[in-house]
Amino acid sequence: MSLPSSVTSELLEKLTGMVVSTSGRTYSVTEVYTGDKVADLPQSDPGDVQLAYAAARKAQAVWASWPLKRRIGVMKRFHELLLGHGLVVADLMQVETGKARRMAFEETCDVLMVTSHYIKAAPRILKERKHGGVVPLVSTSTEVRRPKGVVGLISPWNFPFATSLSDAMPALIAGNGVVLKPDNKSTLNVAYGVGLLYEAGMPDGLVQIVCGEGPDIGATLVENADYVMFTGSTATGRVIGAQAGRHLVGCTLELGGKNPLIVLDDADLDEVIAGTVMAAFLNTGQACMHIERIYVSERRKDEFTKRFLEAVRAIRVEATYDFAPDMGSLVSVGQRERVQAHVEDAIAKGATVLTGGKPRPDLGPAFFEPTVLTDITPTMLLAKAETFGPVTAIYPYSNVDEAIAMANDTEYGLNASVWGGDRRAAEAVGRRIEAGNININDGLAASYASKKSTSGGFKASGVGSRHGDAGMLKYTDVQNVAVLKKQVLSNPPDTDWTKQVDKTIKGLRFMRKLGIR
C-alpha cells in the first residue's frame, strides 16, 4: 500500500525536524495498515525539555504583550489555513494511527470548532471585571486575568490532533506558551498543525514539541510547567497529578472511562441501534467516551440484540485512505493484543461472543473485528477495566433502578448515554448516573461537541475540565487589584473598641439589608 500523495519525504523531514532533540535517539514511526517504517522521529531527553521551556518562555513574553485582538487575529488565520489543509492532517493521522478517514476528518473539525468558539468567547472570558470593594462607594476590586506562563501539554495517540491543538488553543489565546509532548505514535499530524500556527503568525518558539516516553522526560516536563494538561490513562494521570502537586502547579487530567448506555423501554430502536453502533465503535473503540457497557431491559433485550448484531456485522472495516470504511485499525499491534487479551479472558470465564472476537491479520497487523459479548461476570477484565477497542457488552436489567446501579458500579465516571421516548424521563435517569457527561438520545457527541459547556469526568475519570469558560480560565491566574479612594479602613489610636464593635455590627446588618455585602 502506498502512502497518500501528500505525505512526501520532504514533508516528513520538515515535521520530524520540529522536535526539540539533541539525543541522537529516534523512534520508528510506522504505517499502521502495513507495519512499514515511515520516518525516524527524534527523541528528546530532559535537557531538551528544559531547552524547549526556555525558548517557549522567551516567546511567551512577546506573545503575552500583544493585545488580545492581535492574538485572536493569528487564530483566525490559523482557522482558515486548517480549513484548506485539513485533509493533509487526515492523511497523516491515518498513516500514524490507522483510524478510518471519516474519523480523521472529523477530528480536524474538532479543532476548527474549538478555535472558532474561543475566537468569539475570549474577549468576554478574559475581560477585566470590576466589583464593589470592601467599603461601598470608596473602594473597588478588579479581577485581572493573566496567563499562567508556559503550559506543559501531554496528548495521547487516540485523538492526537484534537487533544493537542484543541487543548492548546484556549491556552494560547489567553497568552501562554506551550511545550507539547504528543505520543510517539502520533506526532507527525500534530507537528503539521503547529506548523500552521506558525504560518498564521504565531511568534517563533511559542509552541515547542518534545518527544519521548513518559518515564524518560515526563518528570522534567511537569516540573518546568506553570500548568499541566494531560489526556490519557488513569494510572498515568495519578502519577502526573502527584508530580504537579509537589511542584504546586495546577493540572487538568482527562482520564479513562468504562462508559454505560441504558436503553429504556420506550426508546426508538431505529435511533438507538444507529447511535449505539457509532458510540461503541467510532475510532475503532479507542475513545475515552466510547460505550463499553450496554444495558437493555429483559423485555427488549432479544429484539435489541438481534437488530444491534445485524448493524454491527454490517460495519465496513478496511485499510484504505478513502472515505469508504466505517472503521479502521487499532493503533498498534500492542493495543490489538491488549484488546484480544480482554476478549479471551472473558471467553475463558464463560462469556458468550455474539459477533466478532478475533483479529483480522488479512486486513493488517493491528485490525480487530467489531465485537459484541454477553454473559459478562465481575471476575472478567471486561467487566471493570477499560478495554479501549472495538468491543462492547450487553447486560440485561429488570428495572430502571437496577440499570442505574449497574451503570454506577465502576470507578470511572466520564460519559453515559440514556435513550428513551420520554425525554424528560430519560434525562431524569441520566442525572442519576455518576458521570461528567450525560447524553440523552445520543452516545457521546452531543456533550463533547458542545464547546460552550464545560466537560470533565467524575471519580477516577479525571480532575478539572475542558471547553466552556473554565477551559480557558484554568490557563490564567487571577489578580485582584483593589483600590481604596479614601482611607477609611484604619482606626485612630484612641478608638473605643466597644463602640467600634457595635458600629461594625450595625453597618454589616445594614449592608446585608441593602444587598451590598
- Strand extents, DSSP E, 80-206: 129-132, 139-147, 150-154, 177-181
269 burial (CB, 10 Å; 0-12 / 13-18 / 19+) is middle
Nearest to 418 by CA among 291, 298, 255: 291
- Side-chain-side CA neighbours of 4 within 13 Å: the count stands at 21
State the Cα–Cα distance between residues 319 and 101, nearest whole angstrom. Answer: 10
State the Cα–Cα distance between residues 146 and 167, nearest whole angstrom. Answer: 18
Which residue matches cell numbers 491556552? 171
Catalytic site positions: 254
Grid cell of 72 as nine digits: 485572536
Grid cell of 134 as nine digits: 470592601
Helix (H, G, I), strand (E, B) or coil at 189: helix
111 burial (CB, 10 Å; 0-12 / 13-18 / 19+) is buried
Total number of residues shown for the chain = 517
3-state secondary structure labels for all residues of 215-284:
HHHHHHHHHCCCEEEEECCHHHHHHHHHHHHHCCCEEEEECCCCEEEEECCCCCHHHHHHHHHHHHHHHH
3-state secondary structure labels for all residues of 399-410:
CHHHHHHHHCCC
Nearest to 194 by CA among 120, 306, 89, 299: 89
State the Cα–Cα distance between residues 35 and 118, nearest whole angstrom. Answer: 39
What is the bridge-based pairing of β-strands 412-413 and 458-459?
antiparallel
Which residue matches cell numbers 473597588? 140
State the Cα–Cα distance between residues 260 and 393, nearest whole angstrom. Answer: 10
Which residue matches cell numbers 446588618? 509
Grid cell of 17 as nine digits: 525536524
Q: Do 257 and 416 contact (CB within 8 A), yes or no?
A: no
State the Cα–Cα distance between residues 306 and 309, nearest whole angstrom. Answer: 5
With residue 41 as reference, give the H or E element that holds it: strand 37-42
Q: Do 371 and 356 contact (CB within 8 A), yes or no?
A: yes
